[in-house]
Structures are given as structure tokens and as C-alpha cells.
Amino acid sequence: MDRRSSPGSADGRELPLLLPWNRFFWEAGADDRLLIRRCRDCRSYVHPPVPRCPSCGGEPVPEAVSGRGRVAAVTVNEHSWGALPAPYVVAIVELEEDPSVRLTTNLVSCDLEQAQIGLLVEVTFTHAGDVWLPLFRPAATGKAQ
């Protein structure tokens, strides 16, 4: 049954509506995998998840990606949002496989001074309600050249 998960679960984040074409994305973290839809026909990545490829109309199917990427934009929020204690870092992460695929996320396990554009990151997951939220932390290799 598609429903909004309990907003009071885990750290108080508003959780996504689970639909047939996005459920895989929110549940794959249980297996420590980041899945992004990819078109069977034109091989374009399709994110956010939608039922049809916007490039060619083909069928996108979930495909595992490395979970590595680069911070393309970042901000440090100094005020709490819901149950998220301040300060916390919001980032847009470009995936290694295709920089046009971007995820809006939080950086975790990261010093505020380290949270910069170009930082190399890797996915980690936090369980909240019925979903596993993809968050990112600094990768072992650090800053991009």
C-alpha cells in the first residue's frame, strides 16, 4: 500500500511517498545499495525516479551505481529543521557515473570546514520508517583535483 511514512520516525524528517516507480530507491539502502533508474533503450540515467524515460520514452529499470560522487553545491544550516539539530550540512551530490544525476542530501561524518564544493563523497544510509535515506560522507580520497 502506498502511504506516507510516519513523520515522527527516526530523526523527524518528512519521509517520501512510496510509489511503484520509486520504492526501489528508498528500500535499496537496506542492502547497502544505491539504485538509480536507467533506461533500457537509450541507457540514460533517470532521476528522480519516474515511470518513463524523459529522453526517449523507454522503460527505466533500477541499476546499482557505485555510491560515489562529488559535492556540487553545499550549505551549512545554522537553524534546526524539525528534529534535525543545527548545524547540519545540505549538499547536492553529482554521481560518479553521470554528473547530471544529482541528489539533494545531507553530508554526515563531516567537519563543517570540510563541507566544500569538490569534496569527494560516498553514500551511507540511515533507516527512517519504511525507507533508507541515502546520505553522503567524505570519501577516503578527500577533495577532487
- Domain borders along the chain are 23-140
Three-state secondary-structure class, residue 123? strand
**What's the pLDDT at 12?**
65
**Residues forming a β-bridge with 68:** 122
Reported pTM? 0.86
Which tens digit of pLDDT belongs to each residue from 45-94?
999 988 899 999 999 999 999 999 999 999 998 888 777 788 999 999 99
For residue 86, report the phi and psi dihedrals to the nearest 5 degrees. Answer: -85, 155
Grid cell of 29 as nine digits: 539502502
Which tens digit of pLDDT belongs to each residue from 2-46?
333 334 445 667 889 998 889 999 999 999 999 999 999 999 999
Which tens digit of pLDDT belongs to each residue from 84-127?
788 999 999 999 999 999 999 999 999 999 999 999 999 999 99
Integer Cα distance of 11 and 83 in angstroms = 6
**Residues forming a β-bridge with 131:** 128
